[in-house]
Chains A and B, each alone.
Chain A
């Protein structure tokens, strides 16, 4: 566990406001981004507030087997999934590999990628509508795919941490990441085509 997290634990156990504030400022943004991937923008704040209250209450039982961040993100996920179940919204299952359709039986491209006009992610992101396109592509993904993509590429978590939070194997995480990234690439290429 991170040393700064260990230093916070005694204060958190007695609900010291300064320790709670430090913890919230460190992890609130990550937790909200992750909650958005499961329940969408409108419900994310509410889910994260609930998750925080549960986490602070459960802190005396925290055994430091994982990092505090992994533990908090697991609580967010459980809270979000149980909210979806209450609303009778099943988390979606993973989709098939869409990339396979772009190749012939000989393993060569039948629908190769078109060239793009930019070499910079920030320029790419500044492109009109691209953020909306990426957000829409994320929303249309199955929940597990979206979660792996967010935790890996937005939050920078390790493969082990992602597997702990989502309760999946490392090979499942790799497949979900591959499909999720390809889906985003497919969505972005539509507005980055050079004619």
Chain B
């Protein structure tokens, strides 16, 4: 009889659920995809329902439930932080009491929501969950493990060593000296939302110059060659729980923080670049110390900061490590996976099966939908569509993409993690320079400066991009476009600054070449994603280019689409041209305005 373990992360942000069967990851999803509330932190009822229905079992058949962190240890940090900051006594006390009355009883909250489950509840620790989620699914027998995020219970940065089926935590840096909070503080300073705008900060950095590095090092954070950081706490406000930074922080740079809607200037780009440089230096030092402690040059990473793909790319190219594997669901959503694996390894079976391609299954662990169920929806809303043979569909789509059409691609199991990897993706031609701003402004409705990522055939990526070792199947590494694929820029083009750099045709694939000639590559293999592989092959046959743009199938502020109805709504309310739902192809011009939301009509008119 099989052993089923349910892993849960919730009540902070990005709730999720994972189901293991005899230690193997068989289903995983984030709650936001079902509730349609981005970074939903509520109990992941829908994600759990999906996991159970995937295997056709009921909650009573689950052998154990693992939760991703230990709320009692976390309370210790909250309590001690409150005691150490008595200047906001009454406000702090109210918050403390609220925490005691709710989250301190996480076991009660869990049992209240797990109706029908009578088995044991196990609690891992936040950074142990991240560490095990990074090491156990990785293809390595031995690895140095780095976990870097805002904060778990007490840990902000953790070094661990994984060997075969064992993990040993070696060292931690504690709250409040957090690399994650440092980066989030700058996210807030530049007017982006903490916990979600960090990608924007990373995307903004290449437009700037690192002019403020020394100012940051002497006023905001100091660190040494072991990556031991010390934040200048008088510049931060998060100890009082109100916001990340205070006026002293702003005075360091002589300007107040950018507010939503205010224009981004060169100054802000320079700040973004400067903090990116500082973060890279700190993480390099941390990784260097970690490798020194473990004597192992395979590195695995998890925690929100591990999603900084620019840093990951630089680490891989450095002399520090030989190999790098980053957990695709690195944020707190991935904690559910770690909790499930920790419970299985600790309580049931400590053995670990190593898969040479990793055990994450391409992170295609979410729900898929049958042709019948899709057909029902299409008929119900009277959509016009054509059903294709799978083989012909890729050829037809490649032709349309070469003509400049933008495709919504919905096929197979949904991705687990923040990246769309070809199952819920918007796909377009990267050779068109205007495609970047078209996608940003007319389809994603987001800031024009944000870059798009390329998907490329694994077999031929080295003909276009600098080497990233064994490939980048999870789009978590940034590398450079090869010089041979770049265009010689004129003096005028080279002298452009800020967002004007966007208007330069800098390579043969300008829509996926960022202003510093970098690209966040995803390599595609036939084994992992057969249909996208065929699509790229067909596109290469059609155009000579084995690369396409791949961006998440959503619009700004919304989670990635989960089911066919979400996809249809997104398709009909943006300027996408074509939608593929498994083998059904829909052309926008042939539809009658079904599911169009009044709020989006203006956008569509301007398309």
Q: Do A and B come from one complex?
A: no
List the interface of chain A (C-beta within 8 A of B): none
